[in-house]
């Protein structure tokens, strides 16, 4: 599948989700919504990875988005899904805008570990903050849509529908961004920053922009996850959460804006099935699946579509 | 004729090593300058200071009357000074065409075209053609059309050099600094490559500074020669005059011959 067909494919996926959703079991709706939330985070990671940057701390912005959404309900009684997602996105983007001045100066392992350190600082702060429930976190108000609380049987579908529409719009926006000169600069930054500078562009500025976009997407994903699960806790900033996002990024590949969502869905399915079969060793199944992908599909699951096209 | 670039009193040291000492050069528009000197004489340091990679410890650099001494490389590129590198700086994982398109994208971006909300195919400033056509045209002009879809990392050395220069041309610089454009190229190919570069570059009316070790290439293509030795300019004038300067013969041309002799005397594997 070529990147040029991505808008059509995304529209088709959206139609399928909206059409099939009402008939699907509740647990699959939950699984899909969480996959969309994580897919949004991974979409941001993909932008950074295309520049050669691996963030080991993207959970920082996932957590900020989730807590921002949760705190709006906790302190202001707000529960509108759109408002919460916007707030999560804005809070994370703002944090990234500030931290980006530091992070955009670093490359390679320094960028990765610095981002990890920042996420662990947030984790430490949240664990010690009693007002926010310390290590237990706190409950998030049930979602409403434009002030209306959908009937219980339809809540999961309504949240999924909103999540799917938002995810498709965001994926289309990112798809468009990748086609702009700034978006196309990513592989050039990865290959040769000196040449980028001597072409008249600022690699640091380009990275800063991508970093903020990635954080905004993570914040959006975090807010969506918080309202879907109905709970936030400091684990959302923990390094294992960041690791999960990197896992999905590698699993999915960076070939298309659809890949992160596909990767997140497959990750969710593997995790759910593996946990069902073997609750104590489910991580082993996940690890093995990643190993298989790295060995046989080094460019991720998305390369399967490329291979089919090449064949 | 008015100087397009004026460097006065440039000085640069790296610890105890002086790489540039009291460099004074005024470069006229539309001229072709050859920079000669043995390795470590200060040629690349001079280019690095002009293009903002290194900041001089003392002295000022003016371009079209504007002080550019403290500008970043990207800002210097934007105002019209381009450079190629001794070791070509390319986007190795991308094809020759993609390399060009990245460069053109930056030019469009800097010109405020091709942004997020722009529609259609914006025209590249200076060329008034769509990006793809500019890329094709430049590849053709530098004899790179047959390498269009090959990855930069697998291209032969001489082709990489040409691509490096073609890449610089997308921004339509007014001054082009070429750091050893023919190094790593066989003696037979040198003249042909320089001929191609000069034709492509001079057709645009670009002022050229090139670093070169081959004195035949220098005397054939340069209108003026700057001879560097130990961080200083020891001769500045037309090729006949500069290459026959006693100091140049002793420290530069002699050095080059010595270098050549040493290379020839080296046992072959």
Q: Which of A177, A181, A192 is opposite residue B109, by nearest beta carbon?
A: A181
pLDDT at B237 over 60: yes
pLDDT score of A149: 86
pLDDT at B137 over 80: yes
A99 sits in which H/E element: helix A81-103
pLDDT score of B50: 95
pLDDT at B255 over 60: no
pLDDT bucket at A164, cuts 50 / 70 / 90: very high
Closest Cα of chain B to A78: distance in Å? 33
pLDDT at A254 over 90: no
> Lowest-confidence range among A23-27, A295-299, B84-88?
A295-299
Contacts A180 to B, Cβ<8 Å = 105, 109, 114-116
> What global pTM score does this model have?
0.88
Contact A65, A91 (CB under 8 A): yes
Q: Measured between CB atoms, does B224 come within 8 Å of chain A?
A: no
pLDDT bucket at B268, cuts 50 / 70 / 90: very low
Kindly give, in sequence order, each residue whose CB lies less than 8 Å from that of residue A304, ignoring residues fewer than 6 positions away: A297
pLDDT score of A308: 57
Q: Measured between CB atoms, does A197 come within 8 Å of chain B?
A: yes
Reported as a single tens digit per residue, the pLDDT across B100-129 is 999 999 999 888 887 776 777 788 888 888
Q: What CA–CA distances, in Å, run from B181 to A155, A168, B140, B176? A: 67, 49, 18, 11
Closest Cα of chain A to B175: distance in Å? 13
Reported as a single tens digit per residue, the pLDDT across A58-117 is 999 999 999 999 999 999 999 999 999 999 999 999 999 999 999 999 999 999 999 999
pLDDT score of A3: 55
Q: Measured between CB atoms, does A179 come within 8 Å of chain B?
A: no
Q: What is the ipTM of this complex?
A: 0.86
Q: Measured between CB atoms, does A199 come within 8 Å of chain B?
A: yes
Find which of B88, B108, B109 to mutate to test the A interface (most A CBs within 10 Å of its CB).
Answer: B109
Percent of chain A with pLDDT over 70: 97
**Cβ pair B89:A192 closer than 8 A:** yes
pLDDT score of B1: 59
**Cβ pair B102:A184 closer than 8 A:** yes
Closest listed residue to residue A190, CA positions, set A107, A247, A294, A302? A107
Contact A166, A220 (CB under 8 A): yes
pLDDT score of B269: 38
Provide the residue count of chain A: 311
pLDDT score of A4: 66
Contacts B77 to A, Cβ<8 Å = 197-200
Contact B223, B46 (CB under 8 A): no
Contacts A190 to B, Cβ<8 Å = 93
Q: Measured between CB atoms, does B239 come within 8 Å of chain A?
A: no
* Residue A115: how many other CB atoms lie within 10 Å: 25
**Cβ pair A198:B116 closer than 8 A:** no
DSSP A245-278: HHHHHHHH-SS-SSHHHHHHHHHHHHHHHHHHH-
**Cβ pair A182:B73 closer than 8 A:** no
Mean pLDDT across chain B: 88
pLDDT at B91 over 60: yes
pLDDT score of A1: 46
Q: What CA–CA distances, in Å, run from A247 to A291, A300, B251? A: 10, 10, 60
pLDDT score of B256: 56
pLDDT bucket at A37, cuts 50 / 70 / 90: very high
Contacts B83 to A, Cβ<8 Å = 198
pLDDT bucket at A294, cuts 50 / 70 / 90: confident
> Lowest-confidence range among A295-299, B88-92, B196-200?
A295-299
Among chain B residues, the shortest Cα distance to A205 is held by B74
Percent of chain A with pLDDT over 90: 72
Average pLDDT over residues B142-162: 92
pLDDT score of A286: 83
pLDDT score of A307: 58
Restricting to B residues 90-119, those with a Cβ less than 8 Å away from any Cβ of A are 90-94, 101-103, 105-110, 114-116
pLDDT score of A289: 84
Average pLDDT over residues A177-203: 92
Contacts A191 to B, Cβ<8 Å = 90-94
Contacts A177 to B, Cβ<8 Å = 116
The tokens for A21 are: 């959703």
**Cβ pair B74:A200 closer than 8 A:** yes
pLDDT at B257 over 80: no
């Amino acid at each position: 599948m070529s990147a040029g067909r991505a808008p059509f494919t995304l529209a088709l996926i959206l139609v399928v989700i909206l059409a099939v959703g009402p008939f699907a079991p509740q647990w699959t709706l939950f699984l899909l919504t969480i996959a969309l939330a994580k897919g949004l985070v991974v979409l941001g990671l993909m932008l950074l990875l295309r520049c050669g940057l691996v963030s080991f701390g993207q959970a920082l912005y996932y957590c900020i988005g989730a807590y921002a959404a949760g705190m709006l309900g906790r302190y202001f009684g707000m529960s509108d899904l759109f408002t919460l997602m916007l707030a999560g996105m804005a809070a994370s983007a703002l944090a990234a805008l500030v931290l980006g001045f530091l992070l955009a100066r670093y490359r390679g392992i320094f960028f990765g570990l610095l981002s990890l350190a920042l996420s662990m600082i947030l984790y430490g702060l949240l664990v010690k903050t009693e007002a926010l429930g310390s290590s237990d976190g706190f409950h998030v108000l049930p979602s409403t849509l434009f002030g209306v609380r959908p009937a219980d049987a339809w809540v999961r579908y309504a949240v999924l529908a909103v999540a799917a529409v938002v995810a498709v719009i965001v994926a289309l926006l990112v798809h468009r961004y990748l086609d702009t000169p700034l978006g196309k600069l990513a592989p050039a930054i990865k290959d040769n920053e000196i040449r980028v500078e001597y072409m008249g562009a600022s690699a640091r500025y380009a990275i800063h922009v991508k970093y903020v976009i990635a954080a905004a997407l993570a914040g959006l994903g975090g807010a969506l996850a918080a309202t879907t699960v109905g709970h936030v806790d400091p684990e959302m900033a923990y390094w294992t959460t960041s690791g999960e996002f990197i896992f999905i990024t590698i699993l999915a590949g960076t070939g298309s804006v659809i890949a992160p969502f596909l990767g997140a869905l497959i990750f969710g399915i593997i995790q759910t099935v593996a946990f069902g079969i073997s609750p104590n060793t489910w991580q082993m199944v996940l690890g093995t699946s990643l190993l298989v992908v790295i060995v046989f599909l080094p460019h991720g699951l998305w390369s399967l579509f490329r291979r089919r096209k090449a064949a | 004729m008015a100087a397009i670039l004026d460097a006065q009193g440039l000085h640069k040291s790296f610890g105890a090593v002086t790489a540039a000492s009291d460099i004074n050069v005024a470069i006229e528009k539309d001229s072709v300058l050859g920079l000669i000197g043995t390795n470590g004489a200060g040629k690349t340091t001079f280019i690095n200071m002009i293009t903002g990679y290194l900041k001089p410890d003392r002295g000022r650099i003016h371009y079209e009357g504007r002080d550019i001494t403290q500008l970043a490389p990207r800002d210097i590129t934007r105002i019209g000074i381009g450079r190629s590198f001794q070791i070509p700086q390319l986007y190795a994982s991308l094809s020759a065409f993609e390399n060009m398109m990245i460069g053109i994208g930056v030019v469009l971006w800097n010109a405020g075209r091709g942004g997020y909300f722009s529609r259609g195919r914006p025209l590249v400033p200076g060329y008034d053609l769509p990006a793809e056509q500019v890329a094709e045209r430049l590849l053709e002009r530098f004899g790179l059309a047959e390498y269009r879809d090959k990855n930069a990392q697998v291209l032969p050395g001489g082709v990489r050099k040409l691509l490096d220069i073609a890449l610089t041309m997308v921004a339509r610089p007014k001054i082009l600094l070429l750091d050893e454009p023919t190094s790593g190229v066989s003696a037979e190919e040198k003249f042909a490559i320089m001929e191609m570069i000069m034709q492509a570059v001079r057709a645009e009316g670009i002022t050229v500074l090139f670093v070169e070790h081959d004195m035949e290439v220098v005397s054939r293509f340069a209108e003026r020669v700057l001879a560097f030795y130990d961080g200083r300019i020891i001769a500045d004038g037309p090729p006949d005059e500069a290459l026959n300067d006693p100091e140049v013969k002793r420290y530069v041309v002699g050095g080059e011959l010595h270098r050549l002799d040493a290379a020839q005397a080296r046992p072959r594997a």
